[in-house]
Amino acid sequence: MTGDAAHDDGYLLSGDGTESGDRLAAIAALFDPSTFRHMDDLGLAPGWRCWEVGAGGTSVVQWVAQRTGPTGHVLATDLDVGWATHDLPPTVDVRRHDVALDPPPDGGFHLVHARLVLVHLPGRDVALANMMAALRPGGWLFIEDADPALQPLSCPDELGPEQVLANTLRTGFRALLAGRGADLAYGRTLPRRLRAAGLTDVAADAAFPLSHPACARLEVATINLIRRRLIDHGIATEAEIDRHLANVAAGRLDLTQPPMISCWGRRPH
């Protein structure tokens, strides 16, 4: 969940500490394989010009730069570009940019991609229009967003009090997200939104990790980021949060994350 989403001071998951880095690393472990597979299926090739919106980190940027090669170009934008401290290929251009407020960049992109950006943005309709405006004829728009309302549980197999506690915290987390303007059912709307925008060859699928090691890492990082808010809103006590984190560390929970809806469509020639 990236810096483009953090343009609102109320963004729930903002932070510069270890937890934010751990969250990005866990999200990459969970969803990069699906993202990369779809990009290959869309024909990503040497020489392509690509815009990675709300990059938030380097895993996707580095992979796309490798695929597009020395004749390609990757524009990576975010509100906070502090992550761009690693060695990036010379074909990568990193810019501070608000996809919902700033004009879309010129470039006629073959591929525009955003993951976990629009679900959090109050200006998501404008952001989507800006991304489509940046496509060249025949270019692909590839949007990936979670749908927490589609599968709201942390532990779908609710065996006992440990799973009940995990699901109580996840319910509270969802309530906090909704209170900050997140659209918890946004992912499922992507196909009709892309069709309504005039894109062709629209299709979608979903990634749904269950009991993956990175689910536990993402859970720990998220709970630590929102711990104070969970307590302040009466969702959980310090002791309950500590007990939940101990349950996660003990490996007793088959944790999951909301389905990630991946949707793509092509700008007509």
Q: DSSP labels for 154-191?
A: S-SS--SHHHHHHHHHHHHHHHHHHHTT--TT-GGGHH
Choice among 15-29, 129-143, 251-265 with the minimum mean pLDDT: 15-29
> Domain tally for the chain?
1
CATH number at residue 22: 3.40.50.150
Q: Give the mean model confidence (pLDDT) for residues 43-60.
A: 95
Please give the mean pLDDT across all residues of the chain: 92
Better pLDDT: 5 or 222? 222
Ranking 11-15, 44-48, 138-142, 255-259 by mean pLDDT, the lowest is 11-15
**Of 211, 238, 237, residue with least CA distance to 155:** 211
Q: What is the pLDDT of residue 19?
A: 79
Q: Give the burial class of 251: count Cβ atoms within 10 A of its Cβ; 0-12 exposed, 13-18 middle, 19 or more buried.
A: exposed
pLDDT at 83 over 70: yes
Nearest to 267 by CA among 135, 142, 144, 114: 135
If pLDDT is split at 50, 70 and 90, which confidence band does 9 have?
very low
Query: Taking 50 as the threshold, does the pLDDT of residue 1 lie above it?
Result: no
Q: What domain range is 43 assigned to?
A: 3-266
